[in-house]
Amino acid sequence: MAGTFLRRQFITDAAGNPVGVILPLEEFALVEETLKQRLPAPGTPDKLTQMEQAADDALFIDDLREAMGAFAGADAQWWEPAP
């Protein structure tokens, strides 16, 4: 039985530009500490600021409305009592 083989996978935007990468866990372990030091996780004040800014972000609001519309039917079936 063949084992699982995972290589680096690049994530691209619609224009084909690389914007991210998926790493095998072994490779991630090699760079994890460096990433934590160079890219610290945002703290609570940063998260609150981002949440406050989201209310005025047209793209965020558009995405939110699209997501809410996509789940409207499922939400109604799950949360609304049957007539």
Q: How far is CA 63 from CA 67, 70, 76, in A?
A: 6, 10, 20
Cα dihedral 34, 38, 44, 46, rounded to 10, equals -150
Q: What's the whole-model pTM score?
A: 0.42
| DSSP code per residue over 1-34 | -PPP----EEEE-TTS-EEEEE--HHHHHHHHHH
Would you state the pLDDT for residue 1?
47
Q: DSSP letter for 80, please.
A: S
Ranges of the chain with pLDDT below 70? 1-4, 80-83
